[in-house]
């Protein structure tokens, strides 16, 4: 269909370290050391660290956010459900560079849908105002639907994060078709002045095509696939490979 590649050398890689916390928690103690891994990710080239604490603290613990905030030199991104008061308090206490609002249900294994920014618009505007007034950049997790992008813009959010599971699921069968809704959504976001992040199931096979076709993609947050790859390829090499997928020509 002749999609035009977008060369966006400013796309940042934020490494989600939830899976490192899962491994640590499985045996108790502090091995692997979450803070040390985060610092290594930065040293190996990652431009940000993402955590997504959940109420049961099955991976990231609330204390981890404080420990990481004290040492991270790149961008710190805390994701989570702002309907949980404990999450709101955590974000306001740490003041990360960015908070990503994700509509997780209690006990949800992983994020599987974006916000309904039309029905939830008044509530999201309230949350966006709260965090922006604290000096925190806000991103809203959304499906690649034009109406949801338009609704997000009306909340006053700084950015959206495109939920990319559907793209990843259909990439191998028809990548040209799979990316169309994301290109359309991104163009609408650009038109409305919203920054664009993306995340969920992006990996070494599908990341390059995605990043080269999404106009003005600012940041991707990648955890599960990257940590899985690191088991075979090593963490430093893996981060370099992901950066190469983001910032090389077609």
Distance CA 180, CA 80 (A): 27
From the list 79, 161, 208, 219, the catalytic residue is 79
From the list 42, 161, 200, 219, the catalytic residue is 200
Active-site residue 79, yes or no? yes
Cβ neighbours of 128 (radius 10 Å): 22
Active-site residue 208, yes or no? no
| Tokens coding 110 | 């992983």
Annotate 193-242 with DSSP letters as a single string. Answer: T-EEEEESS--TTTHHHHHHHSTTEEEEEE-HHHHHHHHHH-HHHHHHHH
Distance CA 162, CA 87 (A): 21
Cβ atoms 77, 37 nearer than 8 A: no
Nearest Cα neighbor of 18 from 41, 2, 47, 44 is 41
Nearest Cα neighbor of 90 from 115, 126, 121, 66 is 66
From the list 42, 52, 161, 219, the catalytic residue is 52
Active-site residue 113, yes or no? no
Q: Which residues have a catalytic role annotated? A: 52, 79, 200
């Amino acid at each position: 269909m002749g999609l035009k590649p977008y060369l966006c050398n400013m796309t940042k890689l934020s490494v989600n370290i939830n899976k490192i916390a899962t491994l640590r928690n499985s045996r108790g103690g502090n091995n692997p050391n979450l803070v040390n891994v985060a610092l290594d990710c930065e040293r190996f080239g990652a431009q940000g660290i993402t955590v997504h604490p959940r109420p049961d603290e099955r991976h990231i613990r609330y204390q981890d956010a404080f420990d990481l905030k004290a040492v991270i030199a790149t961008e710190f991104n805390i994701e989570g459900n702002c309907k949980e008061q404990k999450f709101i308090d955590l974000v306001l206490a740490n003041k990360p560079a960015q908070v990503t609002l994700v509509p997780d249900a209690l006990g949800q294994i992983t994020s599987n849908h974006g916000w309904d920014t039309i029905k939830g618009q008044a509530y999201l505007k309230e949350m966006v105002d709260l965090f922006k007034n604290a000096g925190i950049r806000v991103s809203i997790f959304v499906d690649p639907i034009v109406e949801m992008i338009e609704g997000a813009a009306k909340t006053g959010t700084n950015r959206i994060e495109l939920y990319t599971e559907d793209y990843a699921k259909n990439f191998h069968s028809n990548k040209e078709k799979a990316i169309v809704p994301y290109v359309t959504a991104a163009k609408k976001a650009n038109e409305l002045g919203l920054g664009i992040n993306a995340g969920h199931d992006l990996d070494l096979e599908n990341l390059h095509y995605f990043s080269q076709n999404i106009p003005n993609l600012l940041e991707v947050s990648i955890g599960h696939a990257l940590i899985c790859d690191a088991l075979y390829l090593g963490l430093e090499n893996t981060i370099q490979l992901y950066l190469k997928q983001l910032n090389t020509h077609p």
